[in-house]
Structure 1
């Protein structure tokens, strides 16, 4: 392909564009406009230019260069010219006979000590000695990246210049050779001196150079300059330590990024030393390349990161574009595109750079280009599959390949008609309004703080903690793993807060045990997602019993792992993150979006437990969890076909169809009645369409009972039920627990002639588990209700321990402990009930733990003493291992054996029971199991039968 100079001459006239060319330019202009909210994912566009095709790169260069004031930041890279520049540097260095060490395997040699920017006479990235007179691909890449950096960092686009901090430091380190003849200590001291001198020049440049800055920033820089001059050595040491916030953040970034295993170096100085010439021999060149590209992209990310205290970031209204011309597959231009693709995949982070490549042939990653006329269709398809391809780390995940055809059937170029001018910045970000902006921000901040404190929602996370919360619909939604934020400060919810505090304390203990084990034990994080706010309660009423019990089950699983021996390297350790999806899971979608960011940043996050309510909002949350690749295990969800929303979904409880079948068998075998009447509710401000639990149960009842179903009616608060007095058939409540108290009050009018057989679904279990609600329940009605954990009663657990059932016996030991649940359960002489959902949540968490331990055992087959690498497993692999273990022998759960069908996330023949209380207000008397279906703990018989 011709060079840029030749191309400019050839396109000086009015040449025709190929078909779709003008539309492509319009699409490109749209991509470069930065949205006011959120960010856009930008592809790598590869144009395959046939012989005689117009030169879109030169056309774009002319268009982008127009404008007197604001222009789109852009850089132009001629790949053949970069090759010639690299060859020239090699020749000049040889002609001047500059001192340099013999070329090593990575082809490096040092730069001069006074080269601060990293633009040395040689490149540090020669992968191998160059064949003939052509420099190595690494040399081309280094020159190309440096050329792009210099163009983008110029103050030439009508706005504040892009500031780079990470890339120049990385490039500078690669050019350093602190003297191979020196010993290790002298080399370290030489490198420290050069770093300190470089830092001094860098700070001086930032303080005195550049355009106008905000007054606060100027004062800060001047004060910091004074401190640096007064105590330069101390400030420098503090900065590179990475331990003090706001100081040395770019040094700290190098130790937190993933390339070249920085943690092996312990300190930044050790890592920096590994990058210098002579010490870089043992490093993988491709990792060095990726570090350079990652540092370059990180600088762009930070420049475009919107912060309300940095008006300049809001004035960046157009994304930068890199135009790469004359690329051939396998050269430095192609290598740069490949590295950008790989870094985006491997870090999971987006960046604001749009790359446009012009080449004579398609890349080997995607050899079949789209016609240019189908550019918008190609972009839409790319955007649809990007989440999956980047998760699979495809080599061409970010590529869109387009073919430029013959312009004979095209149109005249209409570049001037496309808006390649950056949009105007928001009025409040302009420099002449700083005082007004500050006042508005202060007023807004005061309102924002007041609104968050009014619901006790603190978005600021403590150091080292995972806390992210925000007010949504008046509720504090988000997640926390730290006692610095505990969900729900309502009066009466002390036990809910106490179990969160217990979990957070055990999180800290698990971290300490993991460190003391030399990080050998498998370590995983599970998120509990539930409804932790929004219920209306009295000041003396515990209104979140079910959620508290599920958290107690998670805490028990966590506690059991902490009791393992210090030498048990195969035993996992569990960290629990508590997340709130809001009342009736209405804000579960927002909570999942926040959890997606947590899972992206923390590889130990392997699944979600909880979800609480079977509603459409829960179904949408499951679909989103499936999209981001997080398995979900629901201890109590039972709406039919919830697994249709996620391929990574499993539930512990039997589906509604099994519950309906048990109620029907109970009516036939025990009550011996044929007719049934049904009343349902869906909860406050909800509907039957939104409530999947109630709607699927009603569907199942209609299918199972058929003509025997006399009445199906929605019950509303205040509605009288005198027509049900003395009713001899089955009176079934299939609504939500929040209306069950009102339903009982309506039946109180029957006095001495109540309905003969009142049966409630398992939602009523949440009411029956609340001693405060039961104690004030109206009347003395007997109630039979569905239980999903009848095998986890105190008597059943004691019997299991007697027959040496290790799973259930160990669970009994944990819940009796002094330092776990408050109060302890099932102690001799004090039969405090276990709680319906404690064992179910314990089973859900333990199922994930066993899968991780199984994977760890196989990974450590060759070396049982190796450290645990959290990235060695992923959520999808853990889900697959759960199914593999379950298919082999099922899971021996505390609440009954669990066996999944091969094509479903619902359990098969899961044990469910009917419990009966003679008087609802009699809290002291334990419910009695009267009927059950499904496989028991000691018998494979799954038939429905009376106890």
Structure 2
């Protein structure tokens, strides 16, 4: 293989064999003609180097030598030998099929018979034998130990069973059917380019027609018998058509997309007529009229070594040391020449002198293109793994099954959610931008309004980014309703901010049911703090240990956190950046004790609360109520219900049964400081024993979620008063003073309707005020130093919301001037509501400051025991 310039020639040959990565492009492949003194030896070494180092599966590089005979079937034998080797099975699978060449070789066999002795019936008979006994015999070189290689036609034809079966029974009908619907046979009718082709003078007309018509013509029955050159061109064209189909990239799942190199046919020639005839046949095919474009592009690289037989002049040979420039010149000449004058041979002359040793070393270092066999399978396995892994990963990170994990345009918050096990269901927790997945359809409307407002806020030159951290997947119907009202209040406040100097972009974060993953969601918010330029966090759901941990983490990151309905006293000391809209547990407990002793005239009380150690709100509030009642009211029972079957203590149902003893004493009341989710079970326990003679019950603010669900109708004669942190009941049973109170109710009616009825529990009012607090803090900073707001945030403005700078909110005045509790509103409005038969609560008592509008007086009718 070594001669002067051999390494450059070999590198160029390997590069020429590499297919372009762009599927719509294919190379123009010349017939490389190397004049060499030992063609067989050179091509054998080249084939060994090519196949051994490339280690591909199906054979892609084969050597085909002409036999000793000089018959008319020389081209057919060469092509049959090439197909026999291309079609060999390997451990990677079967080779390629060649139905077009199989049919063309059968036509050539008909021509080799004595045409005068064949009748139409005999042609039909040969069709019958076509699939069973016909074979191609290829005579190998003389030095081969097995000179004859027989290739059964059915091993490469690949005809479908629905043609093979009727071919044995009804040959003529099968042939007619195949001519109509079978692609390879229809190709014979279409070959030769466009039907409007112009025949050049002296150009042999290509064989074209139905297979049956061509068979009769080749047998001498009908029309002129084709010439040998036409038969050779037909065989070569059929051979190339099979390669075109095998290497086609037009099919989405076709094997041609995975074939990164062209097949290579190495053809030694020592003056035999067959190699020259094959080169001439390939040239005739490529110079034919293409169906599309100007030049036929066939996926076959032919390398001829030796001397080609023929009378015509050979093309000028180039130096093998500079093959790239020779190839570019050849392409330019090919484009400039007419269709019939194109020369596809690109000739090189191998020097006769012995190559230096360093040239041999360079040849050994040249590596052919391609990849090791397992890469094809690895790529397929990688695709299959991706198809499985992407939905699995997206499921774990709460994304749509086939979505991309990265969104580049338009720029949006990255999805920071993950799936967490919350007992019987999985929930997606974390920072979710403005479109959380896997939440209740009841939340779709306010979430969509928030998304629309976000798009408008982003168009402003400056805007605030606020995260609402809450229970987007609370797991209960009453929890969904509470979350819906929170989002509605935020949507209204955000809408009002769009026309101001501080428009708000609102992101959402889910802490899961019961705020169990509030700390995890807070960490993800902190990670996105600088990326999303987050100014504050609002909401915070309910008061639990996880909520307190989240507030601590946010405080360490200097992120202001504003609780809307959180009341735990421990939160007030968790972070210097924490503020809340609702009153503290300490204030609620004092108000509850005052109402129990003053309005309810209770002399004894039974206090029940949640035994969940993580529920700070319930245990802290129950203890505070007991301490405030202890001086004047006897505590006959102070018990916690267990939240799991493995905890100590009584079930909430059993405690409800025990609470019925308070119905005997008219001066004894039941105080429920537990969660709304358990209050129904508590009442069921009462119902099972009280027989519709319920004691008077005073419940804390969390029970408002249960009351507004309307299930109190299942407990006739129930006497329930409960504390509310905010409610539209302040303005009467029909909200008579609603329009005078402010724009909140007007906007609520515009966006969601039924403002009076839907705001009895006050969740929307509290979340509205939380976002209003952020806006006021931003305005305070903006009035003193505008640049500080957009670079440092709103925290300095929060401390200015006091005294004359207080905010008159829709849930009450927000004035943070109490030195004992500087981050809880001082003397804020708090009220007691009572359930009624209509399903809507009435106002019993209100206490605290509400400067924007005077609330109505109590709207409830007095009950026995009231003062």
TM-score by length of 1: 0.46
TM-score by length of 2: 0.50
In our comparison, the structure showing a higher alpha carbon Rg is: 2
